Structure 1
């Protein structure tokens, strides 16, 4: 099979490898497309190694066909997605949503599972009938794969959505996705603007340590700060007194290293909540670019350069009509 390896730091190479052998409880998937995520870039840079026992190849999400049944599916991986065939625990595989072309569905499951696990399961965003007052969610990085999905998802659940973006042009874009308020983080005093807007019950953060105090300052009473990435660095100062006075919580999570049973729990909730939203047209997956597998390095550059809207997809197989 063709696959993309990472022989040296920050280098990708297309090679021929043997197909993986499925372990007990795993199934083989013939891959149509793979989603590209910032975690892949971190792995290639040598700062985010795969969990023990996972494939050393990059790639955390794919769409394709189960070899045993022929069913179109999406799968959440701990690694190995940049390849024509993957072996994955069966509990980490879901039927592909019929409302999406199969190739585009490759960009769904990692962001959907991340957002559902963090906003609903961890932070308690109301996914039921709702309370008397909608919760306010602040999403940093509104134009990325996580951000574009999280805005639509939180809006679909009835939340008031605030977000930050990297340009004035992007403000209108995220407003069209469902953001109630948006600010260019390069020109606006975001902490002040969010406080003036009433603060946030939940903050979904990708910056990490350097943003700790600003994020705590933007929380409402009993607010939850959920850190899912550390693009700005892992360390920072925290005003513990401010956090205590707000009776706030800081939650740090990852999806990749969780046990299969835990991923299964997340995926079941994801399918329950997200598939109907896709079917009803309340959520779409913006695709910034589709790039051939052989040009995976170019796909990574798109994310490194920034300014993209939504997901970048690697076309692994001939997806004509998918």
Structure 2
């Protein structure tokens, strides 16, 4: 099996880190009651949108970065990254991919207006607390509309990201409105990233399980056509899946694909005898002729797949 070069590179990871820093400032300044500077956020949206249009798949690995202590910031950027990758894979132009990224960045900004004890509560919310939590799209739309340089369509998408495709979501007073692609794309990205993130009230799903959950919600909570586009993007084995190869090696899917091999590129972390590699090896399944034969549970193997990105 041949080694190959990294398909993403340092600059893409650096852009992700810059986006985290920008969103952290936006959230903290908003929580403090101030209207924040948006220049860094707008620049991050432009840079990541351009990267997504060059290679949508390359962005998928970025979303595996999880930080429970900074969940709001990481989740917001991950949703933006996934949404921009999806939008770019659908052939949308640069300006629309940027808007979709901004909607991802800001979709949960309304939670800064909600009592933090409610937002981080580990147990079941009371009826009153749940009603207040359901107001975060409204708060978020109002905040987004006040941010310099943020298009009106972004605020509309923030308002609508929990309305659901079948219009049974919230806020109930906006269910009858027509919405464009932005809110539908953000809703799919939001669902996928939330499903693959461990939280106090939710078990973390592995990428393939999250794909199955996305598929289950197609036509009800999520737009079926957008879901199908997302499934085509993430391939047979989504990025971050832990898999077993024909030679019994354990690897992490690095670049997904619909190729019969199961993926385009994997990172081998254990050899055929089960010995951890001191230096994980990037392997092209397409070039080597090797195939994925099964999924592997990372918890049982004691492997944190996010360390591979």
Tell me if TM exceeds 0.5: no
Of Structure 1 and Structure 2, the greater helix share is in 2
> Greater relative contact order: 1 or 2 (C-alpha under 8 angstroms, separation 6 or more)?
1
Scaled by the length of structure 1, the TM-score of the pair is 0.25
Of Structure 1 and Structure 2, the greater strand share is in 1
